[in-house]
């Protein structure tokens, strides 16, 4: 079984350690974006997490509107003293709501990219 706390801690540490210059100038590696020129649901999360980890909220929200929130979620999982699962995240209504917000955010970003 995957230790969610360890994975979250590694990802959070990566966002903290990663220099701004690396994420700013890095090439696009997303296959969906390379093929279509449009953002996938998670495009910009690495940059957003790095900005959030360095308390640059405006930059974080600019890279991905849900980046700061997901970064804080990962911090909460990494610091969770139990088995690395947030009890709230196990509720079906919370999962459906989070999925709807994620989908709506992606559709909004797609629309913004197409009309730009």
pLDDT digits (tens, 9 = 90+) for 41-71: 999 999 999 999 999 999 999 999 999 999 9
pLDDT digits (tens, 9 = 90+) for 77-98: 888 766 555 666 667 888 899 8
Q: Please name the residue ranges forming H helices in 1-116.
A: 4-17, 20-24, 31-36, 45-53, 57-63, 67-79, 92-115
Q: What does pTM read for this prediction?
A: 0.83
- Which residues make Cβ contacts (< 8 Å) with residue 56, sequence separation at least 6? none
Range of the domain at 108: 4-26+35-115
CA gap 94, 99 in Å, rounded: 8
CB 81 within 8 A of CB 15: no
- Which residues make Cβ contacts (< 8 Å) with residue 86, sequence separation at least 6? 73, 76, 77, 80
How many domains, in total, are found in the chain? 1
């Amino acid at each position: 079984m995957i230790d969610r706390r360890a994975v979250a801690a590694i990802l959070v540490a990566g966002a903290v350690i990663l220099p701004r210059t690396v994420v700013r100038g890095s090439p696009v590696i997303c296959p969906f974006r390379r093929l279509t020129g449009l953002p996938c649901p998670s495009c910009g999360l690495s940059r957003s997490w790095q900005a959030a980890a360095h308390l640059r909220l405006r930059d974080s929200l600019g890279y991905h509107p849900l980046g700061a929130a997901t970064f804080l979620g990962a911090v909460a999982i990494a610091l969770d003293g139990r088995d690395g699962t947030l009890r709230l995240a196990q509720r079906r209504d919370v999962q459906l709501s989070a999925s709807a917000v994620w989908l709506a955010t992606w559709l909004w970003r797609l629309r913004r990219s197409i009309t730009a």
